[in-house]
Copies of this chain bind each other. A is one copy, B any other.
Amino acid sequence: MERKILLSEKEIPEQWYNIIADMPNKPLPPLHPGTLEPIGPEALAPLFPMELIKQEVTTDKYVTIPDEVRHIYSIWRPTPMFRAYNLEKLLDTPAKIYYKYEGVSPTGSHKPNTAVPQAYYNKMEGVKKITTETGAGQWGSALSFACQHFGIECEVYMVRLSYDHKPYRKVMMNTWGAKVHPSPSEATEIGKKILAEYPDTTGSLGIAISEAIEVAAKDEHTKYALGSVLNHVKLHQTIIGQEAIKQMEKAGDMPDIVIAPFGGGSNFAGLAFPFLRLNFDEGRNIRCIASEPASCPKLTRGVFRYDFGDTAGMTPLLPMYTLGHDFVPAPIHAGGLRYHGAGVIVSQLLKDKLIEARAHDNLEVFSAGVKFAQAEGIIPAPEAAHGIATAIAEAEKCKQEGVSRTILVNLCGHGNFDMKAYQDYFAGNIVKHELTQKEIEASIAKLTTPLIP
């Protein structure tokens, strides 16, 4: 069989899949932090276009992808699936390993899958400018690319630490015409206030979100966009898993285990939800595993309760697996996975034991990344290497047990902009990070938010 399983552009799925329709227990509603009453979609109207708000709350099983979005998707989609023959050989495993490769997108990750429809719906509703935050820069790059296609102005608040350390991500955003501010910035009230108080701060994602929201809230032609966590973001990413099902069928195979890295949930949701649909609709038993960093283990060691989505406690309360909203993860290189909580859909699925989770130490992650690069040729982003670590662990288990299983992993992005991380690994500067039970309990104990009934 060939290494690459390719689809034609005609095979780009025509609908996104909404797992909420099939969930036995629907996610609990978000609560107003003051009244503790459920809040409705109207609360989102100042920040998001109406069509995205509808998608956020819809219970329809499928949502049609606009032709214009499918047309832009075709710049890089369908993405290839690979059979990892070389990795299988390196591991000497009876397992069959496949990977779906999202790194072929213009920005090198899965993020444009949602950036493009978000920019599209904003355009349709006459929005002139979109603001957003970015940490490592993947999301900011994706939104810049998408906005440039629709002629929408894009303003990115980039955490000062990344702005200074990752200048090339900023250049990439500039190439697609975006304006990038180091955050905190002088461009917003909240930014000015923080700079006055802490002139030397390196910023945080929480601050950058506040700045982006402030700008969007002030102007009726400006909206805000988010790259993970929310339901509509997960919805858009299901394009990945739906293509993957077609590709597995083409290969005459079907995964026993589906694996993806886990930050806010959009990466995992993108690959896994369409396979979970097969479990729901066809009674299959496909195991879906979310791979998280041991230094930010909300799924494997967090609690399931209401918590804020941001550090400052300004969002609605969301029912999620969390480490506490002011938990500060170690500064690992997989910046995309450093988030204290899990999106509400994934949290409910984990609670209901419909998915699994697994945590990996940083050293194990980079060892997996290097093995993959040596065998398959692609140097994975540190985020992607978490999924590979789980895949390798499962393949080794197959070897020990003497059974063959089919494993599919989401290679969500390449590491071309992350070579500093590999440099640190080779130099021995990446160390095992032990997070004690005490530290986790201390962070959770600070929570005063409601428990899940």
Q: Do A175 and B3 have beta carbons less than 8 Å apart? A: no
Per-residue B-contact encoding for A160-191, CB less than 8 Å = 1, 0 else: 00000001100110111100000000000000
- Give the CA-CA distance A304 to B406 in the complex, in Å: 60
List 30 A-B pairs, Cβ < 8 Å.
A2-B8, A2-B9, A2-B10, A3-B74, A3-B75, A4-B74, A6-B6, A75-B86, A75-B376, A75-B377, A106-B377, A106-B378, A167-B423, A168-B419, A168-B420, A171-B419, A171-B423, A172-B379, A172-B419, A174-B426, A175-B373, A175-B374, A175-B379, A175-B422, A175-B426, A176-B373, A176-B374, A177-B374, A414-B416, A416-B416
Q: Look across to chain B and name the residue whose beta carbon is closest to the beta carbon of A8.
A: B2
- Give the CA-CA distance A379 to B379 in the complex, in Å: 19
Which residues from 96 to 129 on chain A have a C-beta closer than 8 Å to any C-beta of chain B?
A: 104-106, 108
The answer to whether the Cβ of A148 comes within 8 Å of any Cβ in the partner chain is yes
- Give the CA-CA distance A172 to B419 in the complex, in Å: 7
- Give the CA-CA distance A172 to B418 in the complex, in Å: 10
Q: Do A76 and B377 have beta carbons less than 8 Å apart? A: yes
Which residues from 3 to 30 on chain A have a C-beta closer than 8 Å to any C-beta of chain B?
A: 3-4, 6, 8-10
Chain A: interface size category = 35 or more
CB distance from A106 to the nearest CB of B (A): 3
Q: With A9-B4, A374-B177, A416-B417 in contact, is A168–B423 under 8 Å at CB?
A: yes
Residues of chain B contacted by A167 (CB below 8 angstroms): 419, 423
Residues of chain B contacted by A74 (CB below 8 angstroms): 2-4
CB distance from A286 to the nearest CB of B (A): 27
CB distance from A154 to the nearest CB of B (A): 13
Residues of chain B contacted by A377 (CB below 8 angstroms): 75-76, 105-106, 145
The answer to whether the Cβ of A69 comes within 8 Å of any Cβ in the partner chain is no
Which residues from 113 to 165 on chain A have a C-beta closer than 8 Å to any C-beta of chain B?
A: 145, 148
The answer to whether the Cβ of A370 comes within 8 Å of any Cβ in the partner chain is yes
Residues of chain B contacted by A370 (CB below 8 angstroms): 175
Residues of chain B contacted by A174 (CB below 8 angstroms): 422, 426
CB distance from A175 to the nearest CB of B (A): 5
CB distance from A369 to the nearest CB of B (A): 9
CB distance from A419 to the nearest CB of B (A): 4
- Give the CA-CA distance A422 to B106 in the complex, in Å: 16
Per-residue B-contact encoding for A410-453, CB less than 8 Å = 1, 0 else: 00001011011011001000000000000000000000000000
- Give the CA-CA distance A168 to B418 in the complex, in Å: 9
- Give the CA-CA distance A437 to B423 in the complex, in Å: 45
Q: Do B106 and A104 have beta carbons less than 8 Å apart? A: no
Q: With A2-B9, A10-B2, A175-B422 in contact, is A148–B417 under 8 Å at CB?
A: no
Residues of chain B contacted by A379 (CB below 8 angstroms): 106, 172, 175
Residues of chain B contacted by A373 (CB below 8 angstroms): 106, 175-176
- Give the CA-CA distance A108 to B3 in the complex, in Å: 19
Which residues from 176 to 216 on chain A have a C-beta closer than 8 Å to any C-beta of chain B?
A: 176-177
- Give the CA-CA distance A145 to B377 in the complex, in Å: 7
Q: Look across to chain B and name the residue whose beta carbon is closest to the beta carbon of A2.
A: B9
Which residues from 366 to 414 on chain A have a C-beta closer than 8 Å to any C-beta of chain B?
A: 370, 373-374, 376-379, 414
CB distance from A373 to the nearest CB of B (A): 5
Q: With A2-B8, A3-B74, A423-B167 in contact, is A416–B108 under 8 Å at CB?
A: yes
